[in-house]
Amino acid sequence: MSGNLQLLAGTLARAKQENRAALITYLTAGFPTVNEGIAVIQAMLTSGADIVEVGLPHSDPLLDGPVIQAADDIALRGGVRIADVIRTAAEAYQASGKPVLVMSYWNPIDRYGAERFSSELAAAGGAGCILPDLPVQESARWRDIAGRHSLATIFLAAPSTTDERLRELTAAGSGFIYASSLMGVTGIRESVDTAASSLVQRIRAVTQLPVCVGIGISNAAQAAQVAGFADGVIVASALVKAILDAPDAAAGAATVAELTAELSLATRRHDSPAKPGLTR
């Protein structure tokens, strides 16, 4: 079975037609437990998330701040396996028909076998992968495998990325480009860094791929601001933190549903109403 790269592209195109940014939400698989995590992701998907990222927890999450580190730690101590990550992706896709991405550091996939992982993720209905420590120069073999399984390879771009590298990674990437709003690890910040919009502009100058912005986006006001210039808004730590702070899993899922709904509302652009039938 082939992966859902086309579904991902279609979802982003439809959001654009509807004059809104897509909402992309994240949860670490196996957090707080595998089944509770699946329920939380389903709550996200029924509350307005367009796309979900399922995190494959890692012992050494170099690009993650304390919130996602804590979630990864809980998931790993709970004994989560890659099969559980695949099952989480499968259930999320089956229940919603929406695109599901896996976010993973490279070593677990490399060790598991890129071919085996890709074919299992594609069979589960997955749409692609975000691999934050696999830069474009090291990615040729992976992209070949992912491409054969119709899985997107979503590269991150950072404010420090040179224009020359932006050309390389946008040429190699598929699905969308993940623009980091700031220089830093995942986590909750007070305001959206001004670097975000200029990075999105620089990316748009070299590619037609949609550009989604994440890292440091945690509330509706920030989501609305980012929706003004990006094709998608990615929220992770704020949702994970809601679960960490909740008294139990059900309360966590309810808070996540509320926050997702608020974020979803915020991604609609009010300044320039959609013209039916016209795409921009």
Partner 1 sequence: MHSKFFFPALPGQSPDGDGYFGAFGGKFIPEALVAAVDEVAVEYERAKADPGFAAELEQLLAHYVGRPSALTEVPRFAGHAGGARVFLKREDLNHTGSHKINNVLGQALLTKRMGKPRVIAETGAGQHGVATATACALFGLECTIYMGETDIRRQAVNVARMKMLGATVIPVTSGSRTLKDAINETFRDWVANVETTHYIFGTVAGPHPFPAMIRDFQRVVGVEARRQIAERTGRLPDAVIACVGGGSNAIGLFHAFLPDTAVRLIGCEAAGHGVTTGEHAATLSAGEPGILHGSRSYVLQDDEGQITEPWSISAGLDYPGVGPEHAYLHDTGRGEYRPVTDAAAMRAFRLLASSEGIVPAIESAHALAGTIEVGTELGPDGLILVNLSGRGDKDMDTAAQYFGQAAGAAGTGGVST
The residues annotated as belonging to the active site are 53, 64
Strand partners, 235: 25
Name the pairing type of β-strands 128-130 and 100-103.
parallel
Largest CA distance in the chain: 51
Residue with tokens 């939380």: 40
Strand partners, 54: 27, 102
Q: Which is nearer to partner 1, 40 or 130 (CB)?
A: 130
Phi, psi of 97 (to 5 degrees): 70, 15
> In the bound complex, what is the minimum distance in angstroms from residue 178's beta carbon to partner 1?
9
Q: Which is nearer to partner 1, 108 or 228 (CB)?
A: 108
Q: Which residues contact 36 (CB under 8 A, 6 or more apart)?
A: 249, 252, 253
Look up residue 221 and give its DSSP letter.
Answer: H
Q: Which is nearer to partner 1, 48 or 216 (CB)?
A: 216
Residues of the shown chain interacting with partner 1 in the complex, contacts defined by CB under 8 A: 58-63, 65, 69, 73, 76, 81-82, 106-112, 132-135, 137-138, 155-162, 165, 169, 180, 183-185
Count of Cβ atoms closer than 10 Å to residue 35 Cβ: 14
> In the bound complex, what is the minimum distance in angstroms from residue 236's beta carbon to partner 1?
15
- Euclidean distance between CA atoms 128 and 4, whole angstroms: 7
Please write down the long-range contacts of 249-254, taking CB distance under 8 Å and 24 or more positions apart: 249/32, 249/33, 249/36, 249/39, 249/40, 252/32, 252/36, 252/40, 253/36, 253/39, 253/40, 253/43, 254/43
Residue with tokens 């989560």: 80
Quick one: which of 201, 173, 189, 202 has its CA closest to 235?
189
> In the bound complex, what is the minimum distance in angstroms from residue 9's beta carbon to partner 1?
22
Q: Which is nearer to partner 1, 7 or 209 (CB)?
A: 209
> In the bound complex, what is the minimum distance in angstroms from residue 85's beta carbon to partner 1?
10
Q: Which is nearer to partner 1, 14 or 111 (CB)?
A: 111
> In the bound complex, what is the minimum distance in angstroms from residue 36's beta carbon to partner 1?
21
Contact predicate 199/159, CB 8 Å: yes
Q: Which is nearer to partner 1, 54 or 224 (CB)?
A: 54
> In the bound complex, what is the minimum distance in angstroms from residue 117's beta carbon to partner 1?
10
